Structure 1
Amino acid sequence: MQKLFAYGTLQDKDVQEDLFGRILQGTPETLIGYELNEIQIEEEFGIVHYPIIMETENSDDTIDGIVYEVTVNELRQADLYEGKHYKRVEVQLQSNQKAWAYSAAI
């Protein structure tokens, strides 16, 4: 199993059901050294604002989210869902666990 830190739409039960075919069970967690920003993505119905994490390397910057255990296949599904504006990066959480998270693809 892989660990996935979610801070945005991947926490939504409807998104999880559509994407993974199940509701994920997660644990609250904190990401340190990142700040939450917004990205604008053009969708078929207009510009939509989505959250995105940016590394700051400042330990005072934190983001609350949930860490889930997912399969490798589910992680690939999440990659497709996040699309070209996000990249999967390995992050260290407050609990010293390592997990995957989606950051800006720039």
Structure 2
Amino acid sequence: MHKLFSYGTLQLPQVQEATFGRLLPGEADAIVGFRSEMLTITDPMVIERSGSDRHPVLVPGSPDDAVEGTTFLVTDAELAAADEYEVDDYARTQVPLRSGGLGWVYVLATTAPS
């Protein structure tokens, strides 16, 4: 199982049903050192699932910045499904979670560590 932190549309029930085929149990959590900005999405499938063409995206911030969200436990297949859902503007990386340990999160691709 993997920890997947969501601060945006992956928290929506309709997105979870369409992407994973189930609702994911999760816990309120946060990551520090990042801030959220808005991104315009053009992928029709993502817009249809989420109901919006405006999605939040994480960018590096100051040590005082924190983004609230939800940490979900997902399988390998569900993590791959999340990768398929996220458009190319996002890159998956591991970050420290406020609750402890590391979790996967999607950040602005141009700011992701390589």
TM-score of the pair, normalised by structure 2: 0.85
Which residue number corresponds to residue 78 of structure 2? 74
Which residue number corresponds to residue 49 of structure 1? 54
* Alpha carbons 2:31, 2:66 under 8 Å: kept: yes
| Superposed CA offset, 1:40-90 (max 9, x none) | 222458x9221000112x221000000000001100000010021111010
- Report percent identity of matched pairs: 38
2:99 & 2:79 partners in 1: Cα distance?
21
Shift of 1:3: 0.4
Q: How does 1:94-105 map to 2 (within 5 A)?
A: 94-105=98-109
Which residue number corresponds to residue 27 of structure 1? 27
RMSD: 1.6
TM-score of the pair, normalised by structure 1: 0.91
| Superposed CA offset, 1:10-61 (max 9, x none) | 000111011111100000001100000011222458x9221000112x2210
Structure that is richer in strand per residue: 1
